[in-house]
Structure 1
Amino acid sequence: MRSATLALALACLPLNAAADGFFTLKGHGGPIMGIAVADDGRIATASFDNSVGLWSNGSPTWLEGHEAAVNTVLFNGPALLSAGDDFTLRSWPDGAVMGQHKGKIMQIAASGSLIATASWDGTIGLWQEGAARSLSGHQAGVNDVAFIAEGTGLISASSDGTLRLWDVATGQEKAQLLSHGFGINELVVNENQGWIAYGAVDGVTRVIDAATGEPIADFTLERRPILAMALSPDGSTLAVGDGEGYIMMIDTIAWRIARDFRATLRGPVWALAFSSDGANIHAGGLDNAMYSWPVASLNEHGQMGTQEQSFLRKPEDMDNGERQFERKCSICHTLTPSSARRAGPTLYGIFERPAGAVSDYSYSETLQKSSIIWTETSIDDLFEEGPDHYIPGSKMPMQVIQSQADRDDLIAFLRRATGEERESE
């Protein structure tokens, strides 16, 4: 059973899964949304399965407590920080809530004991030893933040298309560094070299002078959106991941593309991080595993997701009920007796089952106290109204199936797939 305390996982690939330095970390039950690396080589992974994996020598410790997808992780001294779709910033090993926004938290930055969070509620949170402040000014969700000048300044990137500079002491916006026109998802700051790199929804990857805002280099390709960026420990290489599954490696000394690697067969690259020595680039996407490639031989190894995800199958290969399940349910739920570390409980045996009754899943308090019994009627109501209306306060993401025929087909498929199909009268 999942627990808010630490619990060792079962089997996992060894860290050095191949002598040439290529390896994977497997065990999550959903896509990898964020990756962090400690100075001692430990790796932390944030997943859609609501959990954080802390990996040492290839073995995971599962950190449970988030009530929705975890988007980002960061090592900060002895602590590991995480944040996600449940609006909370948490500190491990105990999972204590350090702060809470009114929207999803997309990124964390730290300068000593001062923590900054970028949230889709349009604000930047500043948290330090129980004190909380909020920086407001962006006109849309904030996607990324980075401290500068030894923590006295902060740069933020937003879906409103701007990069902004803030005075941390006063909480005031000092300057709008850039107005791009499309949402900016990622930023990387290299103070030693004096530049800022950013990646945007329209696929733009650009580098500007940190002091003047003047352009230095443009690496925009016909691929969008930009979803991940990482800088090597020595600052010589900038890695960029996009929605079409590529990892572009930029030489920041010569300002040229050193490598351009198709990392996934299908789907995006959501997370990137260099190993502590800079020899490997770690990446996450739709697959339930983190992949790590040696930078020097990036193109010589396998890709993520060599086995196609079921929800990406062609519509013509499935009947309508299965298609509804694959597109609406399969990323969060299994049809097997085990919940398999997914973001939601297994649907095996769902009919006539009380809500909150699966033993290997950690439910929200709302569902634990619910009187719902899952029947054809209640499942139909759930998808007609949407979980946020049918069960306010649950962890289920917003999903509505408007067509009665589609809901009927989904319920019939669940009957078949879980072995609960009724005998025809």
Structure 2
Amino acid sequence: MRWLAVVFALFPLPALAEFFTLKGHGGPIMGIATAPDGRIATASFDNSVGLWSDRRPEWLEGHEAAVNSVAFNGRAIYSAGDDFTLRRWPGGEVVGRHKGKIVGLATSKTRVATASWDGTIGIWPEDGLPKQTLMVGSGVNAVVFSPDGSTLYSAGMDGALRVWDVSSGQETLRLIEHGFAINELVLNAKDNWIAYGAVDGVTRILDLTTGEERDFTLGRRPILALTLSPDRRLLAVGDGEGYIMVIDTLEWRIAQDFRATLRGPVWALAFSVDGQNIHAGGIDKAMYSWPVAGLDKQEQMASDEPSFLKNPDEMSNGERQFTRKCSICHSLTPDSQRRAGPTLHGIFGRTAGTLPGYFYSDTLQDSDIVWNDKTINALFDEGPDHYIPGSKMPMQRITQAQDREDLIDFLRQATTSRN
């Protein structure tokens, strides 16, 4: 049997795929990327990027709002989000800035492309050349480079799938006029097709040689994530109803259709480097990774129900207002629990923008607001965008005076009685 040991030494068996989770974020997982060495990067609503080696995190902090997308490019990591910035790690320096949220990233050997809701695509060269701005005119959701970096594909809110010449910055072709917003793109250049997923649930694969389209639409909407396996055999699709559909691109059939979460969407997908696992993020604060084989037999996401999905009949009106408007960003404990916003513990009597360890907007840091019944009421009566223009707080109001009063009563009790 000595020959068998020699064979195993020369050709070791691959590690068996296993289910695992990456926990530590304080908000939903919005983007996932994998590196050739096995590292995983996660972009989160908690304003941070998690860099995972051997399932242990290093936190990349610097974004001032939710991080939507992350990508490896050689030794660098790029991330972008709701603070309008593109950042490069290590260091977190701002290397690009839009006038609206950045929701998509693509990298080539020499450039990074950003898709922004300000109606433009940013091309940010790594060699110090001037940046390019490609004018689309409506929000851009997704971008992807050709392998040589000379061509860029984009899609967005107007439902058009565009082709760009990167050197000139000119649109050269419009492949699709879908009519509904296209959210996601995946390019398979070796087999010469591109896949797209749209807000109306359409999932299609376009042959770039013949123009033929294959339709895998299942009527679930919107499509929020697409990813291709390293061997190009499997295309995974995540949607707003919590499913992951896996398409076999050799036999052109749906191989698996897994309900990944009972409540909430699948926002992010990526295959492991060896293709054995599929990583996913959603409304839960953890990244889940399942073996691709037997996906439908695996544990679902969000096993611990987020507070904002609790049965409203089990809560007081004040707690209902908190869970709907505040809980995804703020904790009530002394620990902020890596949420997108600072903890509300001890908020009454606290000057706005002063809690140590949180990256506040300049507007809030420079204000003279002290949080009390009157100022909290005004915040939700007028809406953060009017009460504190320039704040990072999302645009929302509580229009009924009784609802605001009940929220304030709940916050006073919940933020002063906890240790």
TM-score with structure 1 length normalisation? 0.92
In 1: Cα distance, 2:135 partner to 2:334 partner: 47
Aligned pairs for 1:74-113 (under 5 A) are: 74-113=71-110
Pair 1:169-2:167 in alignment: yes
State the match for 1:188 in structure 2: 186
**1:205 aligned residue:** 203
Structure 1 residue ranges without an equivalent (≥5): 1-17
Instruction: For residue 372 of structure 1, report the CA deviation from its aligned partner.
Output: 1.0
Matched, 1:380 2:374: no
Instruction: Answer whether contact 1:339 1:360 (CA < 8 A) is retained.
Output: no
CA distance in 1, matches of 2:63, 2:389: 17
User: Equivalent residue for 2:4?
Assistant: none
Match of 1:133 in 2: 132
1:415 counterpart SS class:
helix
1:397 corresponding residue in structure 2: 394
Using the alignment, how far apart are the partners of 1:149 and 1:93 within structure 2? 25
What amino acid is the match of 1:342?
R
Pick which of 37-46 and 398-407 moved more.
398-407
Counterpart mapping for 1:336-351 below 5 A: 336-351=333-348
What is the CA–CA distance in structure 2 between the aligned matches of 1:346 and 1:309, rounded to whole Å?
17
Tell me the CA shift for residue 222 of structure 1: 2.3
Secondary structure in 1 matching 2:204: strand
Tell me, yes or no, if the aligned pair for 1:351 and 1:420 is still in contact at 8 Å: no
Q: Distance in 2 between matches of 1:309 and 1:221?
A: 27
3-state DSSP of counterpart to 1:151: coil
Question: Retained in 1: the 8 A contact 2:38–2:272?
Answer: yes
Bigger drift between 157-166 and 388-397 goes to 388-397
Match for residue 67 of structure 2? 70
Q: Does 1:243 align with 2:247?
A: no
Residue 393 of structure 1 deviates from its aligned partner by: 2.1
TM-score normalized by the length of structure 2: 0.93
For 1:52, what is the secondary structure of its paired residue?
strand
Residue pair 2:385, 2:393 contacting (<8 A) in 1 also: yes
Compare 382-391 and 370-379 and name the one that shifted more: 382-391
Deviation for aligned residue 1:384? 1.3
2:408 aligned counterpart, secondary structure:
helix
Code of the aligned partner of 1:209: D
Letter in 1 for 2:67: V
1:212 CA drift (Å): 4.3
Q: Letter of the aligned partner of 2:148 in structure 1?
A: E
- Of 142, 145, 148 in structure 1, the residue corresponding to residue 143 of structure 2 is 145
In 1, are the aligned partners of 2:183 and 2:197 still within 8 Å (CA)?
A: yes
Match of residue 298 from structure 1: 295
- Spell out, residue by residue over 1:173-227, the C-alpha distance to the aligned partner (whole angstroms, 9 max, x if none): 1111001111100011101111111000010101111234331x11100211100
Identify the residue that residue 8 of structure 2 maps to in structure 1. none
CA drift of 1:148 comes to 1.4
8 Å CA contact 2:108, 2:147 repeated in 1:
no
Is contact 2:17–2:276 with CA below 8 Å preserved after alignment? no
CA distance in 2 between partners of 1:408 and 1:46 (Å): 35
Q: 1:33 aligns with which of 23, 30, 35?
A: 30
Q: Aligned-pair distance for 1:75?
A: 0.1
The total of aligned residue pairs comes to 402
Verify: 1:289 aligned to 2:286, yes or no: yes
User: What is the letter of the counterpart of residue 296 of structure 1?
Assistant: A
* d(CA) in 2 for partners of 1:160, 1:214: 22
Q: Could you say what the CA RMSD is over the residues aligned between the two structures, in angstroms?
A: 1.5
Percent identical across equivalent pairs? 67
Quote the residue 2:359 is aligned against. Answer: 362
Residue 276 (str. 1) matches residue 276 (str. 2): no
Aligned-residue offset at 1:265 = 1.6
Stretches of structure 2 that go unaligned for 5 or more consecutive residues are 1-14
1:349–1:420 Cα contact (<8 Å) kept: no
